[in-house]
A and B are shown apart, each in its own frame.
Chain A
Amino acid sequence: MTRTPRSIAVLMAFAVLTGCGAQGGDPARQYGSDPFLPEPHQYLLPPMSVPESIGWHAGETPTASAGLKVEALATGLQHPRFLHTLPNGDILVVESNSPGTQAFRPKDFIAGKVKARAGAAGTGGNRITLLREAGAGQPALRTVFIDHLHSPYGVVLVGDTLYVANTDALLAFKYLPGMTQITSAGVKLTDLPAGPIDHHWTKSLAASADGSKLYVGVGSNSNITENGMAVEEGRAAIYEVDRLTGDKRIFASGTRNPTGVAFEPQTHQLFAVVNERDEIGPDLVPDYLTSIRQGGFYGWPYSYWGNHVDVRVHPQRPDLVARAIKPDYGLSSHVAPLSLLFSEGEHLSPTFANGAFISEHGSWDRSPLNGYQVIFVPFVNGQPIGRPVTVVSGFLGKDNAAVHGRPVGLALDASGAMLVADDVGNTVWRVSAAPAGS
């Protein structure tokens, strides 16, 4: 045998590989309560598609929908993720990133490099910065509010206590109105599931209306249990933490990565945005927005969107699949919803009076790209209904070949403008109603 047949065989092997890089369909088919779900596929080479991160040049901004304008409120931040507005209007910017994960397999090295290209590897500040506006959109003061945190994410103020969700613990800090810096060490309320691995490291956080309970979103420790079942103990769940005693329990489970939790203001129902699993197709599995029922099981890892079994999990659990809850509202696949913010009236426009803003960090394993925008999902009677509306876009460069920024945290400032944290552009954007006629 000469070397020619070998070359042909290798070429055929690569043809098989590249032939599997299927293109995703129209995301609109997967919006709402009954998303289109294609057959799952397993690939030799999972589709990866990440634009190179280039940041923003001076004067460049994302694009707001009609009637809104966008301006930078703060730039030069260190991987800003989560935003929270205090009662006096001060804005907290949580600057954070993953505590760092180990590479276990040859694949992990490659995937790490691909994601780094998209700006996911930026160093997090492990701190919270405070911004104070002099007038609307005029930052007058910028201080390091709390430093030396450990991959913090969620922040919520209840009474005079500020809760910060580090990746491994929920901390409580004494807060007095007007404070611009907290130097005291926080008091640990409870531990949170973190290392080893800590694959999905963010701990989203919300407080119940009466302030008695805190709700913490804890992501899974893998895509689909490839790091073993043992490390999934207590993960992919939403915890309820008693604010006074620190007692915690799993409130709902099977939520692969609940990156944003919030209470719907009319019904006081807990909602979450959840990042679903990867590598079974460009249109699987739709990320979702859903109400969270106490004791509810939402499928991960055994099934998705109700009872669609994931064959990658072993052993299977038909008993759990049988009671897996279908989520309320599909956001389409791989958009990576990271923040959930309910609107509080017509502060931006009448269109956005009743519903939820959701930031979509954007896909890394889907072609064409999906997400990279802030959307609004209308609500009627406390339920998501109808088509999502794009509120902020333009995070991608020309031909989607580069990424300027990726939206993460959302908050409303004192004037009702929406703030958007951008962890690639290292900027906080302020989106407000444009003056009439402009």
Chain B
Amino acid sequence: MPAQWSSDTNPPRPAPVLLHRGFVGASGALLMTAFGTDTCYYTTALWQWSNFSAWLITLGLIVLLLAVLLLLIDFATGRARRLNLLSFALVTAVGVLSLINAFIHSRDAWTSVVPQGIFLSAISTILLIIAGARGWSLAMSRAPTNRP
């Protein structure tokens, strides 16, 4: 992707936007909300909360899958330089835990949430808060560079 810069000014080339980053954040928001709805189910035993959780986790996983595809595109197009190892590990763990959690939430009634489901939601939420504080990005973008 050759960028056309004015040869007069040669401004520093800005760090490119990483495509996957916002989708990791969106997935994180969905999966963390599931911990909230799990908590509501735990305290009220009202079934609709557990349905919300099941949908939030399923949608969170779908959005996370999109994020992974976009991460590959980020690397393929040279936007991303190398993996942000800690964030990648955190989000990978969340992905695996949430996949298991989706199956746990497909159980019927109380044990679709308590105890394993809400426990996995809580762990995922803690990991996601860290990943969020680190900016949601799973890779280092190419540093701003001055054109010669």
Contact = CB atoms under 8 A, between A and B. Distances in A.
Contacts, number: 76
A10 B58 CA distance: 16
Q: Which secondary structure dominates where chain A touches chain B? A: loop
A227 B103 contact: no
Given A1-B88, A314-B110, A106 B58 contact: yes
Interface in B99-145: 99-100, 102-112, 114
Interface stretch (B22-30, B32-40, B48-56): B48-56
Interface residues of B, number: 30
Contacts of A224: 108-109
B46 interface: yes
A46 B100 CA distance: 13
Contacts of B15: none
A311 B110 contact: yes
Contacts of B89: 1
Interface in A200-218: none
B5 interface: no
A247 to B, nearest CB: 32
Interface residues of A, number: 31
B54 A107 contact: yes
A9 B47 CA distance: 31
Contacts of B83: 1
Interface string A1-44: 10001100110010011000000000000000000000000111
B17 interface: no
- Identify the interface centre among A1, A104, A105, A225: most chain B CB within 10 Å of its CB: A105
B128 to A, nearest CB: 17
A403 B122 CA distance: 44
Contact of B92 (A6, A106, A312, A315): A6
Contacts of B50: 226
Nearest to B102: A106
Contacts of B104: 44
18 contacts: A1-B88, A1-B89, A1-B92, A6-B96, A13-B100, A17-B103, A42-B107, A42-B111, A105-B54, A105-B105, A107-B106, A224-B108, A224-B109, A279-B107, A279-B108, A312-B108, A313-B110, A314-B114
Given A13-B96, A106-B54, A314-B109, 15 more contacts: A9-B92, A9-B96, A10-B99, A42-B111, A43-B107, A44-B103, A105-B54, A105-B105, A226-B50, A226-B108, A226-B112, A227-B47, A228-B46, A311-B111, A312-B110
Interface of B: 45-48, 50-51, 54-55, 58, 83, 85, 88-89, 92, 95-96, 99-100, 102-112, 114
